[in-house]
Amino acid sequence: MPNIYDFSAETITGEQQPLSAFKGQAMLIVNVASACGLTPHYEGLQSLYSEYKDQGFTVLGFPCNQFGAQEPGSHEEIKSFCETKFGVSFPMFAKIDVNGDQAHPLYKFLKNEKKGNEGDDIEWNFAKFLINKEGEVVERFHPKVEPKDIKPSINSLL
């Protein structure tokens, strides 16, 4: 049976990153976009990362352009936007699809592990998956759930 550590993804700077590099850490995996009404979630995600990174927690951001074409930029543009506008320092990955036939294998796995309110598919930008330190998907949060509201769940894993 596959687990989160069986997957790898291309980083926003073009290297392959096995998720096994995050073994032993709790993770929040989020599909992100730069031109969305929920884009301010970046600030909350960075805040969570800053607060908990020394306790074995990380945020992994996966840009996606499938929802209203709200992530049209190049990897370099996305990286610059996130760092400049929101001070993002958590790991960012290359743009991927999260739904459909071309969905990244990681997202096929995540959606299979935790269904959303509307079934398998990711509802919109900023859907959030919480992974425990053993690599198990423990919760899925609707895109509109504010990052600060996930703190109790993160605390329970650390």
Residue 10 token pair: 């291309």
- What pTM does this model have? 0.96
Chain position carrying tokens 């096929």: 108
Q: Catalytic amino acids?
A: 36
- How far are the Cα atoms of 5, 92, 100 from residue 47, in angstroms, in the given order? 25, 15, 31
The answer to whether 100 and 66 have CB atoms below 8 angstroms apart is: yes
pLDDT at residue 95, rounded to an integer: 97
User: Can you give the pLDDT at residue 119?
Assistant: 67
The total domain count for the chain is: 1
Q: Tokens 């990897």 appear where?
A: 75
pLDDT reported for residue 116: 65
The pLDDT value recorded for residue 41 is: 96
Range of the domain at 103: 4-157
Cα→Cα distances 104→9, 24, 108, 131, Å = 9, 23, 6, 17
- Output the six-digit token pair for 61: 């951001």
| pLDDT value, residue 55 | 97
* Domain of residue 84, CATH code: 3.40.30.10
Q: Mean pLDDT for each consecutive 10-residue tract of the chain (158 residues)? A: 90 97 97 95 97 98 96 94 96 97 95 77 95 95 96 97
